[in-house]
Amino acid sequence: MDFFNQTGKLAIGSRLRMLTDKITVDAAAIYKMFGVDLKPKWFPVFFVLSQGEAKTITAIAKEIGHSHPSVSNIIKEMVAKGLVKETKDKSDGRRNVVMLSAKGKKMSNSFAEQCIDVTTAIEQITQQTRNDLWRAIEEWENLLSDKSLLERVKEAQKERVSKDIRIVPYESCYQSAFRALNEAWITAYFRMEEADYKALEHPQEYILDKGGFIFVALYKDEPVGVCALCKLNNPVYDYELAKLAVSPVVQGKGIGVLLCEAVVKKARELGGKKVFIESNTLLKSAIHIYRKLGFKELPEYHTTYERGDIQMELILEE
């Protein structure tokens, strides 16, 4: 097992499949030994029906935790073998129920003896191990039903990636990145406007010197995102969240959210009461972030940009 020693827990799926394959091969030989003409994959359905009660395919699927199509296919195979028969439900003629045929019932007698010997063999294995595999499987099933392996990997990825992300204050060395990142998304959907050129070419003069701030997201020390907090000369709004841009290369890592959170936090620190946003509904990811942070859409639009078709506000203090 050198391979598994090298891969560690990464190969859990492959290792479980190998164990399953080994047991399945033995299971087929065991059925043959007892004269039970049964495929291993039929076992859950056969076991349920061997209890004597006729059931619908839906009920069987729910009881054994299989999909309806999977159980339906197994039933078809078992019907072809003469082990199962389908009849109309006596209480509801619109439904079909399945039960063991006479041949299936006869086979279940040999099957019962087989179960006794298989259980004894499995218990012997369990006594020779330090860990209870059956209980461990149940624990894994319960844990994965609460949160899938996919969800857990996503969380691990997010945590790992977050260690490489830093949100830092703007410095003049980031001016080219500030412009390039914004110009990329603007020209991908719209056209650059005069207000864009002023802010992006002269952020010190048009944003910072007026009491605003700019935050830069670094991923592995490379600037990959930016967002500005612009001071407004407005009786209603203290600040505007603007010029949010994240490189497509790192989108999906939560960088946009971190940048906006930094901007909102700064607005609060400065005593701001309301933060304003003007955007466009084509920018679905950005709008999703704004709504997630609590921004609400305004009913009336007084656009600054030609591309603006939605305006939002965040009330920091009631």
pLDDT tens digits, one per residue of 194-227: 999 999 999 999 999 999 999 999 999 999 999 9
55 close to 68: Cβ distance less than 8 angstroms: no
Domain boundary, last residue among 119, 146, 173: 146
CA angle 240, 243, 248 (to 5 degrees): 145
Q: What amino acid occupies position 37?
A: D
Residue 240 confidence (pLDDT): 95
Q: Is residue 233 part of a domain?
A: yes
pLDDT for residue 288: 94
Is the same domain home to 99 and 217? no
Q: Is residue 85 scored above 70 in pLDDT?
A: yes
CA 295 to chain centre: 25
Stretch 301-317: mean pLDDT: 85
**Chain CA centroid to CA 90, Å:** 44
Looking at the structure, do residues 116 and 166 belong to the same domain, yes or no? no
Give residue 93's pLDDT.
Answer: 63
| Whether residue 26 has pLDDT greater than 70 | yes
**98 within some domain:** yes
Give the percent of the chain with pLDDT over 70: 98
CATH code of the domain covering residue 243: 3.40.630.30
Of 88, 114, 146, which residue is a domain's last?
Answer: 146
Query: Is 151 a member of any domain?
Result: no
What is the total count of domains within the chain? 2
CB 81 within 8 A of CB 90: no
DSSP assignment of 57-123 equals HHHHHHHHT--HHHHHHHHHHHHHTTSEEEEE-SS-TTSEEEEE-HHHHHHHHHHHHHHHHHHHHHH
Look at residues 189, 248, 177, 250 and name the one whose alpha carbon lies nearest to residue 215: 177
Return d(Cα 71, Cα 59) in angstroms, integer. 10
Whole-number Å distance between alpha carbons of 194 and 206:
12
Q: Cα(65)–Cα(281) distance, rounded to whole angstroms?
A: 43
Asked whether residue 56 falls in the same domain as residue 96, the answer is yes
User: What is the structure's pLDDT at 134?
Assistant: 87
User: What is the arithmetic mean of pLDDT over 154-164?
Assistant: 86
Query: Are residues 264 and 289 in contact, defined by beta-carbon separation less than 8 angstroms?
Result: no
Q: Is residue 243 part of a domain?
A: yes
| Tokens of residue 315, six digits | 């009330």
Task: Look at residues 123, 146, 169 and tell me which one is the last residue of a structural domain.
Answer: 146
Q: Which of 316, 313, 249, 244 is nearest to 285 (CA)?
A: 244
- Answer for the pair 196, 149: CB distance below 8 angstroms, yes or no: no
Whole-number Å distance between alpha carbons of 182 and 315? 26
DSSP string, 51-73: TS--B-HHHHHHHHT--HHHHHH
3-state secondary structure of 183: helix
Q: pLDDT digits over 105-144, tens only? A: 888 887 888 888 989 998 999 899 998 888 898 999 899 9
Beta bridge partners of 131: none
Question: What six digits make up the tokens of 164?
Answer: 């490489």
Answer yes or no: is 153 within a domain: no
- φ/ψ of 296, rounded to 5, equals -115, 145
Per-residue pLDDT for 246 more than 80?
A: yes
Average pLDDT (81-90) is 86
Same domain, 169 and 282: yes
Mean pLDDT along residues 33-55 = 88
Q: Please enumerate in sequence order all residues whose Cβ is within 8 A of that of 215, keeping only pairs 6 or more positions apart, or say none.
A: 167, 168, 169, 170, 226, 227, 228, 229, 259, 262, 263, 266
CATH number at residue 130: 1.10.10.10
| Helix, strand, coil content of the chain in percent (nearest 5) | 55, 15, 25
Distance CA 41, CA 43 (A): 6
What domain range is 113 assigned to? 34-146
> What does the mean pLDDT of the chain come to?
90
State yes or no: pLDDT of 94 exceeds 60. yes
Pair (62, 121) in one structural domain: yes
One domain, residues 184 and 38: no
